[in-house]
Every structure is written in C-alpha cells, then in structure tokens.
Amino acid sequence: MAKNKDPQAPSPADDENRKARAKKKGLLFAILAFPVLLGFYATLLWWSSPRTGGQELRLDQYITLLRQGRISSATILETDNRITGTYDRGKYWVAVAAGRETIFARLTSALEDAGVPLKVQQQPLKNLLVPASLILPAFIVVDGFLILFLAFRGGGSDGYSAFGKSRAKRMATGESKITFADVAGVDEAIEELAEVRDYLGSPDKFLAMGAAVPKGILLTGPPGCGKTLLARALAGEANVPFFSISGSEFVEIFVGVGASRIRDFFAVAKSAAPCIVFIDELDAVGRGRTAMAVGGQDEREATLNQLLVEMDGFESGSGVIVLAATNRPDILDAALLRPGRFDRRVGIDRPDVRGREGVLKIHARGKPLAAEIDMAAVAKRTVGFSGADLANVVNEAALLAARRGSTQVEAKHMFEAIERVVAGPERHTRILSPQDRYRIAFHEAGHAVAATALPGTDRVGKLSIVARGHAGGFTWYVPEGDSLSVTRSQLLDRIAAMMGGRVAEEIVTGEFSSGSQSDLEQAGTLARRMVADFGMSTKMGPYIVKPFSNGYQGEMGVGYSERVAADIDAETQAILLEAESRCREVLTANRATLDQLAHALMEQESLEGDALDDLLLNITQTGPTDAAPVGARSVSGSGTGAS
C-alpha cells in the first residue's frame, strides 16, 4: 500500500542532487586549500632558517680571537642559537648547539674575561615556529586524505558510511531490452521465472489460493548456460524494480563492511517492494562456513550470517524475491539452501539439439544469413556447446564472412567457426617438415580408423593436418545425438579411439612422439573417472570414491585409504593398457585403409563428407567390447603440445 507523502518534502532525487553539489563544493575547497597550505609551510620553513651575515667562525677560532682581543661586540640570538657581532675583519657569527648550557657558560665567561660588550636579542615571532611546524603538516595530511575521500567515494553517500553502502544497480522498468523471447534452450527455467513475473504482476490470484511465491530462487548450472541472461530477461519482463549485484561486491577487507552492505542492500529492496533482487556469483559470499575462522574468513562468515538473517526475515507476501546464480552449488552453505531462504533450485544445463537450434537462431538475428544455412545441421555439429559457445560460433562466422569479403554468412563460415571455437584458428604459417607431416597424417588417420571400427564411438566427420591452435592436426567427431548416459563398453571404445593416434605412430614409425600428450591426458582422465566416479572397475566394484566434507566443520579429506588409492591407479592403468592393446589389434587389421587414408590426408590436407566416407567404407567393424570414453568435446588432435 502506498504511503501518503508530503508534497513539500524534498524528493530523493533533489536530496541526491543537494548532496552531490555539497560534495563538489567540499572537494573544490579541499583542492584549493592544499597548495595554499603547502606554500605557507614552505614559507614558514624558509623564514625559520637563521640568516646572519658575515664570516662563520668555529668555537675554537672564536675563543682564540677572544683571548687575542680581536672581538669588538657580541649578540646572542635567542631562538636561532647563534652569536653574532663584529671583529677586526668585519662581521662574524658562531653556531651554538641548543640546550648545551656548558658551552654557553664557557663562552659568556670568555666574553666577560675579554671585556667584550654582550647583549641578548629576543625573537618572539620565531618562538611560534615550533607549534606551527607541527600543526601545518598535520593539516596538509588531513587535507590530502579529504581530497582522496571526496574524489573516490560514491556520489550521495554520507561520509565514511559510503563503505557500508551497497553497490547494487537498479534497473528501471523498460531499461532492459532483453525478454524471455531472447532466451532459448532453457524452457523449464523460463517457466519457473515466468511464475515469479506473474506473481508480481497479479498477486491476488496466488493469494486467493493460499499460495506464496518462493522467497528465493537459485539458478545453477555450468558457466555460459544463460543464468545471468535469464535474470536480465526477467528484469525486462517484470514491471517492478530490479536490483542486481555481484556476490563479490559484498566482500571487503574492512571488518563489518560486508554485513553493512547486506543490510543496506535489503533495506533498499524492502523500501522498493514489490521488487526482484539478483545476486550473481552467489558462491563468493555464500561459501560454506568452517569452525576455525580467522582473519578475512571470519569477516566473510559475518557477511554470510547477515545474508541468512536478511533472507529469513522477509514476511510472507512482502513482494521481495531473491534471485541468485552460481555455477558451484556444491560449496554453498547448507543453511542458505534450506526452505525459507532459497526455496527453489532451477538447474540450467547445456541445451539439447532443439535448444541449440533456437539459441543459434536468436544470435543470428540481424545478420545476413545465406539461404543455404541449415541451423538444425549446425546444431547437430555443436553437441556439448553452451549458449555462450553458440553465441561465439555465430559471431566468429560473421567475422570470417566479413574478413573474406562475403556479403552473407554462408554454411562454410558457420562450420569453420565451430572448428575455430573448439580447436582454435588455423595456423597456415606453421611449416611442417616432411617427417612431421607424415607422422601427423598417420596420427589422425589412426584416430579415424579406430573410431570407425569400434561400435561405441561417434562418427568421424572430418580429418585435417592443418595446424589449429597448439595442435598439429585434428579429428572431428560428429555424435548422432545428445545422450544422457553412457555405458562401460562405450567408454572403453572411446578410450581405445583416443589411443588411435599414438598406436598408429608406433605401427608406422616404430616409436611414439610427444604429439599424443593431449590424447593421453583425456584418456587417463576418463579411465580414472570410470574407476573413481562411475563404479565401473571390475576389481573395486560398485564403489565411488569422493572427497568427504565434515558438515559444518568444513574439513575436507580424501575419503579413502592408501590401499584404495593404489587400486585406483592400478585399475586406471589396466584400462589404458587394455584400450591400447585393443586399438593396436584394430589398426593392424585395417592397415591398408590406414595407409590409404594417411596418404590421402597428405595430398589434400583435409578430408570430410563423401570423400572421407568412401575411404572409411572398407573398415572392418568389431563387435561390442568391454572397452570405450565419455566424450566432452568431440575433437581429438595431435601436435607437439596439447591438442
């Protein structure tokens, strides 16, 4: 319900303008005062320095002249700690250390003995130099800090309390140009967020049924899948204030600042209800607490505790909904995920083939596409790509078309862009020796032959010995479709296909090369996951090895004994050796096709389509096996480094 406001009361905008003007005036005054203070201090130092004419005499010289009767007069300068006067050669002065009464007594005694007239000259103005020399530097330092504070603090903030103010950005209605129509591949998440939009637009419909919208919605998923984009789309759809802030902006080195920013953030949100608040990268502030918190860890926990209090303090129907995003939900504090805080968790995964097609079409808006482009075919070639990857593919295709003087983005540009995103740009300037060219051709041919012969692998779509990124060549796999799970035999077959390049080099050249480094890394990782994560080891059985966390204590451990660790290493090595042996059998049985494919690669550098299919047609297929891997990115490469 809106509150009645005094029409004479200043609006928030007028108050902010008044504070901004006061800040500018204060900053201008501080800047003008700084050189004035420096100049005054320099003048003070110059004036405070003793200035007496004549010849400087040492104490021993002065006493000698007194005994010889050559000194005519003497005057003691009280503040300058000097004796001045005249002698037979003109004016003189002698420096006397301050506070040395013994020296003064000796000199005055010598002057009396010599019968020299002596007088003391007081310097009252110079007596003020000592306190002034202490006060002025302090004023200069304070003025310097004041300039820095006024220059760098947020406009409209009240003094040092600016550190405790939240830095949330308020997005006005209609400011966000992104809506749910600009998001594809996450239909379920859109449905969940559309419910929030509908509740804020017409809450009576939900309240009549006794239903309350979730107080908090947590978006989880891998990076680049559209969590932040969904929040921006909700801001464009909702006709209510939308506040956004990053979790890292709550974290500060000063004690208590993080909690203060949390309080200010939610106070602003409550005053603008109904509204939506979005916290990006929640794991920066919501990481699980530990029992032994020291230093900055203790401050971070205080910030998290304040967040827990603020979220649990919302009353039902307050109209404030918290939306948060993270790609690491496993490290969030358990208290943050309980019902009443984040009631609903919306998982956002990489899009399937239909979702990828929709994402590609959205990112292709406004770009001149050739009629020949089939987005469905492009979507099939991008298995495992996130929304950010697909946006990069479309952008790379447009860049390639512009670079080559084309007026339209053609299919060849799209497919080359996919290869650039996965394997990197082509390196035409890398000149290979005949030996390297020969070895890389057989390396890639070995991957293709092994993958084609083994039933659990994906179809080979392209071979190339043109260097891309750090790889000397690559083998492109084209999955038949999206799969949610994979069997042990498929994994073993894929590991064997990864060994194809290494085994082919050994068969043809009689030795291995460093070009198989990336293949061995991928194969080793996959074999270890089979043993430790998937429970596919014949020796260890249905046993998953995971690090453990001791609840609130936050203590992490390996979760298994040294014997189990040794078994994991042994089983992983056994899987790799078995895969290598099976790959060697396959390549030996298809040696003729291997040679033919490698020589065709050396002649044409790249093979795909019908030309590649014809060469792979004569490969002898093997039966199902106990061996194959999980394909993340369907590409395998070779080179001197990682592929």
* Amino acid symbol at 119: K
Top-confidence residue, 546 or 556: 546
Residue 30 in contact with residue 150, Cβ under 8 Å? yes
Highest mean pLDDT: which range of 52-56, 541-545, 546-550 = 541-545
H or E element: which one contains 460? Answer: strand 459-464
CA distance 542 to 18: 70
Residue 342 in contact with residue 245, Cβ under 8 Å? no
Neighbours of 54 (CB within 10 A): 15
Q: For residue 379, give the nearest of 477, 456, 461, 481 by alpha carbon.
A: 481
Long-range contacts of 42-48 (CB under 8 A, 24+ apart): 44/129, 44/132, 44/133, 44/136, 45/133, 47/129, 48/126, 48/129, 48/133
- The answer to whether domain 16-156 has CATH 1.20.200.10 is no
Q: For residue 83, give the nearest of 69, 70, 97 by alpha carbon.
A: 97
- CA dihedral defined by 258, 259, 262, 268, rounded to 10 degrees? -110
- Number of residues written out for the chain: 643
Top-confidence residue, 400 or 84: 400
**Is the alpha carbon torsion for 173, 175, 179, 184 positive or negative?**
negative
Mean pLDDT on 32-58:
75
Residue 477 pLDDT greater than 50, yes or no: yes
CATH match for 353-422 among 1.10.10.60, 3.40.50.300, 1.10.8.60, 3.60.20.10: 1.10.8.60
Which of 96-110, 501-515, 628-642 has the least mean pLDDT? 628-642
Q: What is the pLDDT of residues 307-365, one digit of tens each?
A: 888 887 655 556 678 889 888 888 888 888 888 788 888 888 888 888 888 888 888 88
Highest mean pLDDT: which range of 209-223, 236-250, 354-368, 620-634 = 354-368
φ and ψ at residue 459, rounded to 5 degrees: -70, 140
Q: What is the pLDDT of residues 150-190, one digit of tens each?
A: 776 544 444 444 444 555 567 666 666 788 888 888 888 88
pLDDT above 70 as % of the chain: 79
Exposure of 147 in the CB half-sphere (CA atoms within 13 A): 13
- The pLDDT assigned to 628 comes to 37
Triad 223, 229, 234: Cα angle to 5°: 140
The strand order across the sheet containing 90-95 reads 55-56, 90-95, 82-87, 74-77, 118-121
Residue 612 in contact with residue 459, Cβ under 8 Å? no
List the CATH code of the domain at 169-347: 3.40.50.300
Mean pLDDT on 626-632:
39
Assess whether 188 carries a catalytic annotation: no
Tokens found for residue 96: 């006397």
Domain ranges across the chain = 16-156, 169-347, 353-422, 434-638
Exactly one of 237, 281, 444, 580 is catalytic; name it.
444
Residue 349 in contact with residue 221, Cβ under 8 Å? yes
* Amino acid symbol at 131: P
Tokens found for residue 448: 């293709």
Q: For residue 281, give the nearest of 321, 247, 243 by alpha carbon.
A: 247
Q: Is 74 left (phi over 0), alpha (psi -120 to 50) or beta?
A: beta
Neighbours of 35 (CB within 10 A): 9
φ and ψ at residue 482, rounded to 5 degrees: -80, 140
- CA dihedral defined by 188, 189, 192, 195, rounded to 10 degrees? -100
- What's the chain's Rg over C-alpha atoms? 40
Q: Is 371 left (phi over 0), alpha (psi -120 to 50) or beta?
A: alpha
Residue whose entry in the numeric block shows the structure tokens 């993958």: 451
φ and ψ at residue 548, rounded to 5 degrees: -110, 155
Tell me the β-bridge partners of 91: 86
Give the predicted TM-score (pTM) of the model: 0.65
- The pLDDT assigned to 640 comes to 36
- The pLDDT assigned to 520 comes to 92
Residue 80 pLDDT greater than 60, yes or no: yes
**Nearby residues of 77 by Cβ (< 8 Å), 6 or more positions away:** 50, 52, 83, 84, 121, 123
Classified as helix, coil or strand, 633 is: coil
Tell me the β-bridge partners of 556: 549
In CATH, what class is 434-638? mainly alpha
φ and ψ at residue 378, rounded to 5 degrees: -65, -40
